[in-house]
Amino acid sequence: MRRVFLAVLALMLANYLAMALWTTPRLMAAADGLPLFDLRPFGYGFHEARAYLAVLNAEGRETYLIVQHWLDTTFPALLALSLILALHLLLAPRWLLLARAGSLVAVAGAVFDYLENAAVAALLRAGAQGITPEMVTRAGVWTVAKSAADAVAITLVLGAVAVALWRRWNGGTK
């Protein structure tokens, strides 16, 4: 299972780096430095969404709809799978229930990310003048839900890593 985890982790990190180093800078430049909808963990309101869409140029809109969303089609699944495998490697069998609960949170994060992607695509297609407050609220809720679920799952993994390191440091007796 460790080799599978390392392979999935490598794919997820490559996917993340493609977004972080390629599409995100292009999209921020295309929107006068404003962050992508996906990068607003506390959500956004109608006026923020309208302002973003108003300054996002046509090339940026296409990049967001095609390249960014293509990359963000694989990323949520890879992130969730990486977190699930890490939780099970670090916590099972002793803390199997916690590993399973964390896995459900990681899956929820991926589902919320896919729902966010669909809602953001609708905003991008509608444009600044075509969006409605309901569309923005829906997208913002999925963004917040994704961010929260991912934060919880990542925190569980980091906590499990800390415990594993602590045990190793103390000779595995704690």
The mean pLDDT of 82-111, rounded to a whole number, is 96
Sorted by where each begins, the domain ranges of the chain are 2-169
Tokens of 147: 């961010």
The pLDDT-based confidence of 168 (bands split at 50, 70, 90) is confident
The mean pLDDT of 77-91, rounded to a whole number, is 97
The pLDDT score that the predictor gives to residue 173 is 53
Please count the other Cβ atoms lying within 10 Å of the Cβ belonging to residue 168. Answer: 10
The pTM for the full model equals 0.94
The mean pLDDT of 106-134, rounded to a whole number, is 98
CB proximity list for 170: less than 8 A, separation 6 or greater: none
Residue 72, judged by CB atoms within 10 A of its CB (0-12, 13-18, 19+), counts as buried
Q: Which amino acid is at 79?
A: L
The mean pLDDT of 120-130, rounded to a whole number, is 98
The pLDDT score that the predictor gives to residue 170 is 87
CA distance between the termini of the chain: 25
- For 5-58, the pLDDT digits (tens) are 999 999 999 999 999 999 999 999 999 999 999 999 999 999 999 999 999 999
The pLDDT score that the predictor gives to residue 171 is 80
The pLDDT score that the predictor gives to residue 154 is 98
Backbone angles phi, psi at 34, to 5 degrees: -70, 140
- Taking all residues of the chain, what is their mean pLDDT, rounded to a whole number? 96
